[in-house]
């Protein structure tokens, strides 16, 4: 059975437990402050199961959070996807959201690119360009079985508090929609650059669930 806590969290939980023991040795009240912080740490690193909706051509939210304003812009230049603008759907995660990231659509990982950068507030639009990030280009086969292929990008972006991006993808991987692929600590955002011509089905301010909320749908001919 999969642990309800992401493996990246156990070191931090252990650290918080050790600090809490020390705080109890200082004073009873400060010890309970440590208990509260430890409980929050466990909550932050929770890794719940999700049921990804079935269906051809669905693009699923890679993260829990709040949808920011949609922007038409070029994909990250480090991926080499070209200069054609496409719709970017951004999801902001606060420190209370599940931070485990999930693959938005099944396909093949064409390229990965890590970029060092700043740690400004991830809710700001400029965070997509200036913040530290990990970008993945996924090529999605035609859901109708035809020869056409769709290219999308999903980008993990560090935030004001976040200082660690973890990505488990490798170039050439075949990925499945909704599967776990990474985590960001402790508050950040995910950007999804939709394939050319694909429009989002979510609106600004909408709350998403990673692995479950449908962001967009590719053409299926139906």
Q: How many CA atoms lie within 13 A of 132 on its CB side?
A: 16
Q: Can you give the residue range of the structural domain that contains 26?
A: 7-44
Domain count, the chain: 2
Same domain for 34 and 127?
A: no
More confident residue, 146 or 136: 136
Count of C-beta atoms within a 10 Å radius of residue 216: 22
**Least confident interval from 71-80, 151-160, 162-171, 190-199:** 162-171
105 and 188, same domain (yes or no): yes
Q: Would you say residue 52 lies in a domain? A: no
Q: How confident is the model at residue 142 (pLDDT cuts 50, 70, 90)?
A: confident
- Is the residue at 71 inside a domain? yes
pLDDT digits (tens, 9 = 90+) for 8-23: 777 878 888 898 888 8
Q: What is the DSSP string of 80-92?
A: T--S--EEEEEEE
Give just the sign of the alpha carbon dihedral 126, 130, 131, 136.
positive
Asked if 211 and 102 sit in the same domain, the reply is yes
Average pLDDT over residues 65-91: 94
% the chain with pLDDT above 70: 94
* Mean pLDDT for the stretch of residues 169-195: 91
Q: Is residue 51 part of a domain?
A: no
At 139 the pLDDT is: 96
Q: What is the pLDDT of residue 2?
A: 57
210 and 152 in one domain? Answer: yes
Percent of the chain with pLDDT over 90: 50
Question: Is 188 part of the annotated catalytic residue set?
Answer: yes
On whether both 38 and 124 belong to a single domain, the answer is no
Residues 126 and 194 in one domain: yes
Mean pLDDT of all residues in 143-166? 83
Determine, yes or no, domain membership for 91: yes
Token pair, residue 50, equals 């999700």
Q: Are residues 19 and 127 in the same domain?
A: no
Are 36 and 124 within one domain? no
For residues 140 and 40, membership in a common domain is answered with no
Of 21, 48, 25, nearest in space to 37 by CA:
21
User: Which two three-digit tokens encode residue 6?
Assistant: 């992401």
173-191 mean pLDDT: 88
Same domain, 145 and 38: no
Average pLDDT of 133-140?
95
Of 91, 40, 88, nearest to 65 by C-alpha is: 91
Q: Is residue 1 domain-resident?
A: no
Token reading at 11: 């070191």
CATH number of the domain that residue 108 is part of: 2.70.70
In a domain, 36, yes or no: yes
pLDDT at 161 over 90: no
Pick the closest to residue 196 from 153, 155, 151 (CA basis): 151
Question: Are 14 and 90 within one domain?
Answer: no
Instruction: Give CA separation, 74 vs 77, 80, 84, 184, in Å.
Output: 8, 11, 6, 23
112 and 67 fall within a common domain: yes
pLDDT band of residue 198 (cuts 50, 70, 90) is very high
Mean pLDDT of the chain: 88
In a domain, 2, yes or no: no
pLDDT the model gives residue 222: 43
Residue 49 lies in a domain: no
Q: How many whole angstroms separate alpha carbon 128 and alpha carbon 191?
A: 8
């Amino acid at each position: 059975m999969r642990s309800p806590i992401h493996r990246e969290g156990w070191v931090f939980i252990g650290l918080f437990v050790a600090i809490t023991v020390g705080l109890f040795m200082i004073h009873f009240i400060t010890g309970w402050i440590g208990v509260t912080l430890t409980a929050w740490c466990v909550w932050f690193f929770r890794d719940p199961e999700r049921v990804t909706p079935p269906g051809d051509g669905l693009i699923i939210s890679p993260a829990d959070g709040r949808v920011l304003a949609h922007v038409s812009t070029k994909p990250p230049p480090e991926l080499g996807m070209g200069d054609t603008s496409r719709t970017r759907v951004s999801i902001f995660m606060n420190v209370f959201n599940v931070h485990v990231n999930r693959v938005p659509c099944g396909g093949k990982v064409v390229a990965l690119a890590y970029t060092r950068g700043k740690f400004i507030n991830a809710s700001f639009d400029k965070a997509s360009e200036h913040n530290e990030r990990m970008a993945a280009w996924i090529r999605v086969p035609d859901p109708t079985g035809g020869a056409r292929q769709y290219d999308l990008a999903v980008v993990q972006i560090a935030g004001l508090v976040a200082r660690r991006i973890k990505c488990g993808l490798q170039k050439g991987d075949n990925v499945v929609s909704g599967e776990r692929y990474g985590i960001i600590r402790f508050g950040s955002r995910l950007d999804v650059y939709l394939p050319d011509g694909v429009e989002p089905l979510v609106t600004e301010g909408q709350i998403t669930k990673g692995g479950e909320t449908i962001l967009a749908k590719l053409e299926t001919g139906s």
